[in-house]
Amino acid sequence: MHGLKAALFERAQTVGVSPSVWIRNALADALGEPGERVGQLAAPHPRSHGVGRVRVTLRMTREQAAATLSAAREAGMTLGEFVADLVAGVPVVANAGHRAEHIAMLVASCAELSTFSRNLNHLTSLLRQGAYRPAEEYRPMLNTLGTDVRAHLDLATRALADLRPRRGAAVRSRLATA
Which pLDDT score is estimated for 68?
82
- Would residue 54 count as lying in a domain? no
Residue 73 lies in a domain: no
Number of domain units in the chain: 2
Strand partners, 41: 17
38 lies in some domain: yes
Report yes or no on 82 lying in a domain. Answer: no
In a domain, 136, yes or no: yes
Q: What is the pTM of this model?
A: 0.40
Three-class DSSP category at 17: strand
Answer whether residue 17 is part of any domain. Answer: yes
Q: What is the DSSP letter of 43?
A: P
Domain residue limits at 142: 99-164
pLDDT tens track, the chain, 178 positions:
677 888 888 888 777 778 888 888 888 888 887 655 555 444 444 444 445 777 888 888 888 888 888 888 877 778 888 888 777 767 666 556 566 676 777 888 888 888 888 989 999 999 999 998 988 998 888 888 888 888 888 888 877 776 666 555 445 445 555 5
Residue 167's nearest CA partner among 157, 176, 178 is: 176
Contact present, 85 and 77 (Cβ < 8 Å): yes
- Would you say residue 7 lies in a domain? no
62 within some domain: no
